[in-house]
Every structure is written in structure tokens, then in C-alpha cells.
């Protein structure tokens, strides 16, 4: 009879070992093996750390482990019993290996969870991040642009590094004009090149002193009729004080069409001022001089809603009708076209709107100041 024919089962907890033909020698070993495996499964349930697992592993399969000891006893078995017991030991070893692998996975999972913290539920709604806000100058710029959009103006842009020709010559500003003086204008070194404003010959590159250069770029690139507003950064070597900065912002306006007149200029500026400062705000055009407009004006504003500056005439921009020489320089026939232009200081408008008494607040990134515009 083959030994397998009369196998029964020895059951310890969840582990079952078949009972093989019970010779006096093999039966106690079989029972010890089944007991060892069942006990290992039970002990494994309380093991939590890598160190505990290593000690547990050593107790079973280490050099002095219980399973190792049983394996050593194989030598005492007969030639027939050895393969039978060998098979059972192999099954027990496999069961212990599986148990150790599962234990290791469980411990690694616990270690990762401890490092990562509580598990995430990706279906939960996100925690609100603190909402940002636009800088007061950006807010003012958007408000101004929105007003001019209502009158059909679109936004145009030009480079901050500009050629002398676009910034001055094309705008009918002669070489001996004070604005071109090194004291007022920031010139770039002759070696400097700009892809946005290539030099013609030996002409100088400057940091633009006003956004009127965008007038020139627009007239060269687009055919009238056109209405544009050009917001942007400007640079001058002005001494910094409460109302002057070396780096400030302007919004330029340009409207070119057949028969644009002073009445259009007044109408556009009056609309802008009433939209921005309220329906009671008034404007006044004071004769002035700009090389690129004829006639030229300073526009003053008066409003009852400006706190301590209420009901006083305040100068807020330069304006006028586009000088025929500028139209000619840009390839337009002044007999056919006329236009109006204006340029306002963004900081000055924002200061009036919010009662700010020093332009330097805009550039200091002081959150106590900036949060007031949320
Ligand atoms: C000009 O720059 C003209 N290009 C405006 C213009 C455009 C006139 C179109 C006619 C037709 P002005 O230098 O006055 O003009 O500057 C215009 C506005 O820019 C001023 O009213 C002021 O609000 C602002 N501004 C000028 N310099 C500074 C400065 N250093 N700091 C802050 N704002 C300034």
C-alpha cells in the first residue's frame, strides 16, 4: 500500500496537514509540524513592525528556528518515511514563506501610511486656496480700458524698449527737444539690440518716455478708421517724490478717421471722466504744447466726489488733435484723415479714485496697503 492511500487530516487552526501512514516515528513529527504552522499563523496576527517580523522569522526558519529543528530531525527517519515527511515539510515551508510575504506587505503598507498620513479621498471637494487679487493699478487700468471699449476703442500695445524714431522723430519731436535730453530720457548702450525694436542705422534705443510711441506703431500697421487705447509702462529720469516715479504707467488714446474734431475730443474725454469719477465730474481743456498734437491741451478735471481734492481743477492728462506732421510721418494724407490723441497717467487716476497721497505706495508691495483693494 502507498503511504498516501491512508491519509487523513491534522487540523490546527486554519492550517491543515494530511496525515500520512502513521509510523511510530513520523506521527509526532507530523503533529509538531502542523502545530508549528498553525501557531505561526496565529502569532503573525499581532505582528506590527519590521523588527517584530524579523524576530518571528528567526524563531521559525532561522538557524535555531523551530522549522529548522524539525528539518534536522529528518535524519532520524527511515528511507521510506523521508520523502513523505520531506513533502510535508516543503508544504509547511511554503505556507510560512507566504505568511512572511503577506506580513511584509502589511508592514510596508503601514509604514507608507505613517509617512503619508491619513489616506486621501480624491472625491472630496478641494479646500479653498486664498484668493488672489489684482493690484490697484491693474484694477484701475481695466476700469479705464472698459470705459473706452464702450466707445469702440480696442487695446493696442508696443515695446517698452523703443527706437528714438518711434518715441520722438515720428512724433514730430525735434532732436533739440528737452524730452530727448539725457537728463529726461533713459538711453540704452549702443551695443544693446532689441528684437521688438530693431535700430535703423546708428539711431539710439531708449526706454520709452510715453505710450505715444504706440500711436506711431499703430498708424504704420493699420489703416484708419481706428480707435485704440494703449496701456503700458513708461520710464523717465524724474526725481522720485509723492507724485513722480521714474517708472510709471500711461494709457494712450488715438482715434483717426475722416473729420475727427475737437468736439469729438471733448466728447470722448467728458464721457471718460463721468464714467470714472461720477456724473457730476467736469472737464476743462487748457491750451498747452505737445510736438505731436495741434492744438494741444492739458485736460483738467473737477469733481465733488474727490475728498479733500473735491471741487478743485486737477490736471490729469495731455491731449489734442494729431499734428498733420505725425500723420505724414506714418504715411497718411492729412488732407484725408484727422485724429485726436490723449495720454493719461494711470497712477494719478488711481490716486484720485482711492484718495492715495503718495505714488510710492503702489510699488512697495506692502500687503496692508494692497489688501484694501480686495
Ligand atoms: C505725455 O507723456 C504725452 N505723451 C501725453 C499726450 C498724449 C499728449 C497724446 C497729447 C496727445 P505728459 O508728459 O504730460 O504727456 O505725461 C502724461 C501724464 O503722465 C501726466 O499727466 C502724468 O499723469 C503722467 N506722468 C508723467 N510723468 C510722470 C511721472 N514721473 N510719474 C508718474 N506719472 C507721470
pLDDT tens-digit map of 71-115: 888 888 888 888 888 999 999 999 999 999 999 999 999 898 889
Rounded to an integer, the average pLDDT of 331-358 is 97
Give the pLDDT confidence score for residue 181 in this predicted structure: 77
| Ligand 1 atom closest to the CA of 359, numbered from 1 | 32
Going by DSSP bridges, is the β-strand pair 226-235/154-155 parallel, antiparallel, or unpaired?
A: parallel
Give the pLDDT confidence score for residue 275 in this predicted structure: 97
pLDDT cut 70: percent of the chain above it: 93
Which neighbouring-strand residues pair with 341?
Answer: 254, 320
Pocket of ligand 1, candidates 230, 287, 343, 359: which has the most ligand atoms within 8 Å of its Cβ, to mutate? Answer: 343
Distance CA 102, CA 17 (A): 21
The Å distance, Cα 199 to ligand 1 centre, comes to 25
Which neighbouring-strand residues pair with 297?
Answer: 287, 319
CA 314 to chain centre: 39
The Å distance, Cα 221 to ligand 1 centre, comes to 24
Rounded to an integer, the average pLDDT of 227-254 is 96
> Is the distance from CB of 340 to CB of 359 less than 8 angstroms?
no
In this prediction the pTM is: 0.70
Give the pLDDT confidence score for residue 281 in this predicted structure: 97
Rounded to an integer, the average pLDDT of 224-238 is 97
Q: Whose CA is nearest to atom 18 of ligand 1?
A: 345
Sign of the alpha-carbon dihedral angle for 191, 196, 197, 202: positive
Give all strands (DSSP E) within the chain, no chain letters: 8-12, 15-19, 154-155, 161-163, 205-207, 226-235, 247-257, 282-290, 293-302, 314-322, 338-345
- Cβ partners under 8 Å of residue 357, min gap 6: 242, 351
| Stronger pLDDT, 66 or 80, i.e. the higher one | 66
Q: Whose CA is nearest to atom 2 of ligand 1?
A: 210
The Å distance, Cα 249 to ligand 1 centre, comes to 9
**Cβ < 6 A, ligand 1 pocket:** 210, 212, 236, 238, 244-245, 248, 250, 252, 290, 293, 317-320, 341-345, 347-348
Query: Structural domains in the chain?
Result: 3-116 (no CATH), 136-373 (3.30.930.10)
Q: Whose CA is nearest to atom 20 of ligand 1?
A: 345
Give the pLDDT confidence score for residue 113 in this predicted structure: 86
The Å distance, Cα 245 to ligand 1 centre, comes to 12
Q: Whose CA is nearest to atom 24 of ligand 1?
A: 345
> Is the distance from CB of 162 to CB of 205 less than 8 angstroms?
yes
The Å distance, Cα 257 to ligand 1 centre, comes to 24
pLDDT at residue 22 above 80?
no
Which stretch of 55-64, 181-190, 201-210 has the lowest confidence by average pLDDT? 181-190
pLDDT cut 90: percent of the chain above it: 75
- Taking only Cα atoms into account, the Rg of the chain, rounded to an integer number of angstroms, comes to 44
> Is the distance from CB of 185 to CB of 206 less than 8 angstroms?
yes
Amino acid at each position: 500500500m502507498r503511504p498516501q492511500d491512508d491519509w487523513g487530516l491534522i487540523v490546527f487552526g486554519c492550517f491543515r496537514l494530511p496525515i500520512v501512514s502513521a509510523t511510530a516515528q513520523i506521527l509526532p513529527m507530523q503533529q509538531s509540524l502542523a502545530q508549528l504552522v498553525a501557531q505561526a499563523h496565529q502569532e503573525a496576527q499581532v505582528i506590527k513592525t519590521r523588527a517584530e517580523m524579523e524576530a518571528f522569522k528567526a524563531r521559525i526558519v532561522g538557524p535555531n528556528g523551530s522549522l529548522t529543528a524539525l528539518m534536522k530531525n529528518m535524519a532520524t527517519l527511515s528511507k521510506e518515511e523521508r520523502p513523505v515527511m520531506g513533502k510535508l515539510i516543503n508544504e509547511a515551508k511554503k505556507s510560512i514563506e507566504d505568511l512572511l510575504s503577506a506580513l511584509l506587505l502589511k508592514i510596508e503598507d503601514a509604514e507608507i501610511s505613517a509617512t503619508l498620513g491619513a489616506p486621501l479621498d480624491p472625491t472630496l471637494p478641494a479646500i479653498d486656496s486664498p484668493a488672489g487679487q489684482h493690484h490697484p493699478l491693474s484694477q484701475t487700468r481695466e476700469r479705464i480700458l472698459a470705459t473706452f471699449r464702450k466707445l469702440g476703442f480696442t487695446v493696442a500695445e508696443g515695446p517698452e524698449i523703443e527706437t528714438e524714431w518711434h518715441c520722438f522723430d515720428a512724433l514730430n519731436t525735434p532732436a533739440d527737444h528737452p524730452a530727448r535730453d539725457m537728463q529726461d530720457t533713459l538711453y540704452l548702450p549702443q551695443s544693446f539690440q532689441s528684437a521688438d525694436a530693431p535700430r535703423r542705422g546708428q539711431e539710439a534705443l531708449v526706454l520709452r518716455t510715453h505710450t505715444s510711441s504706440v500711436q506711431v506703431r499703430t498708424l504704420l500697421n493699420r489703416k484708419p478708421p481706428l480707435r485704440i487705447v494703449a496701456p503700458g509702462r513708461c520710464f523717465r529720469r524724474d526725481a522720485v517724490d509723492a507724485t513722480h516715479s521714474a517708472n510709471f504707467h500711461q494709457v494712450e488714446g488715438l482715434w483717426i478717421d475722416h473729420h475727427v474734431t475737437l468736439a469729438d475730443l471733448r466728447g470722448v474725454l467728458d464721457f471718460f471722466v463721468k464714467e470714472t469719477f461720477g456724473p457730476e465730474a467736469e472737464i476743462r481743456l487748457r491750451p498747452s504744447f505737445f510736438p505731436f498734437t495741434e492744438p494741444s491741451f492739458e485736460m483738467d478735471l473737477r469733481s465733488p466726489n474727490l475728498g479733500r481734492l473735491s471741487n478743485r481743477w486737477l490736471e490729469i492728462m495731455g491731449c489734442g488733435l494729431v499734428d498733420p506732421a505725425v500723420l505724414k510721418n506714418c504715411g497718411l494724407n492729412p488732407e484725408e484723415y484727422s485724429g485726436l490723441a490723449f495720454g493719461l497717467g494711470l497712477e494719478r487716476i488711481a490716486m484720485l479714485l482711492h484718495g492715495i497721497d503718495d505714488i510710492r505706495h503702489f510699488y512697495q508691495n506692502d500687503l496692508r496697503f494692497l489688501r484694501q483693494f480686495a
